[in-house]
Amino acid sequence: MLSTKGQVLERLLKGEFICRTTDEEGWRFLKNPANREQVDDYLSQLNRTVAMVGGSTDSDVFFCGYRQLDDEERKVIAQQFRDTCNALAPLAEWLVLVQEAGAQDAPLTEGTPVRLNELQTIIEDTPAFREQLARISHYRLFNSNSNGVDGQLKQVFKRLCDLGYLTRPNPDKQIYLATGKLDHLYEVIRFIDETESLDLEARAETASQSNLL
């Protein structure tokens, strides 16, 4: 049997994100700075380090990053960044759809449950949501060629599980939990917003106010 440290190392080296939802034990382990240092020491032999979403010490999502960046690593990162950018629009649209269909104030964050059946009923009953889902599911990221809500939704959820944005704690139930990787996604958008001075929040605020008027 692997120790917690071993499990944490294994998950990190597999490229997984560790958060409270996906691996509570490992998350607790990494929250302790002394343990984190041990893991970091081990990873340093492989030119890797424990990276945190948000980059601060009170972060709740951990993943594995490079320690030193040479040409090879830069190439990998550039490719990943392109992939992430291509995934941003479909993911953002999906998050907004889930939030609006659930009539919730908050978009999905780590630990929020999503009940597939409830979502499906709401989407099936609302033509606007149906259209939105059809558009989202045909993005290359989700790559669905189904025409029905059922097939589209299942494919989207399956892909999101594969990509690590959702987990399904009980395979017998259609209840999914959002993982810490979504928090990473928000941070990416926030970063782009800040560095390119897009002023997205103010834009959304003005738009919603003009809608109200």
Partner 1 sequence: MSGDLHQTGVRFLKQLARHADPIMDAYLSGSLPDQALEPAVQDRLIKDGILYRPEPEADLHLRRTVRSLLEEALRDDRNRQIDANTGSALVTFKTLAAHYKEARHQGDYAAADVYLADLKEHVYAFGETLRHGTRVLWSRLNNEFGYVGTLNAKIRENELAQSQVSELLNGLEMISFEELAETAGDLRDLRRLLVTRLQRTVSECAQELSIVQGRLLELLGRFRQIRGRTRLLKGWLLHLEQHPDYRIGNHTGAKEIPQLFNQATPILAPAAVDIHNQQHENELLELIAQIKALQPQERSLQVPVEAAELLLHEPETFEVQSNPIREAVSAYFCSVIDSGLRLSALEYRQHQALPWDAESWLYQVIGGFEGLPAEQKRHFVLDPIGEPHPDYSGNFIIRDICLWLA
Within a 10 A sphere around the Cβ of 2, how many other Cβ atoms? Answer: 9
48 or 159, CB closer to partner 1? 48
Token pair for 124:
């099936």
Stretch (H or E) spanning 51: strand 48-52
Is there binding between residue 188 and partner 1 (CB under 8 A)?
yes
Q: Long-range CB contacts (< 8 A, 24+ apart) of 160-169?
A: 160/94, 163/87, 164/16, 164/17, 164/22, 165/91, 166/114, 167/21, 167/22
- Alpha carbons 164 and 25: distance in angstroms, whole number: 18
Is there binding between residue 131 and partner 1 (CB under 8 A)?
no
Least distance in Å: CB of 12 to partner 1? 8
Is there binding between residue 198 and partner 1 (CB under 8 A)?
yes
Is there binding between residue 161 and partner 1 (CB under 8 A)?
no
| Among positions 1, 2, 3, 15, the unique one binding partner 1 when judged by CB under 8 A | 15
Is there binding between residue 24 and partner 1 (CB under 8 A)?
no
| Among positions 195, 197, 209, 210, the unique one binding partner 1 when judged by CB under 8 A | 195
Q: Which residues 81-110 are close enough to bind partner 1 by CB under 8 A?
A: 81, 84-85, 88-89, 92-93, 95-96, 99, 105-107, 109
Q: How many binding residues for partner 1 (CB under 8 A)?
A: 56
Cα separation values, 187 from 63, 69, 158, 190, 191, Å: 14, 21, 23, 5, 6
| Among positions 32, 150, 151, 204, the unique one binding partner 1 when judged by CB under 8 A | 204
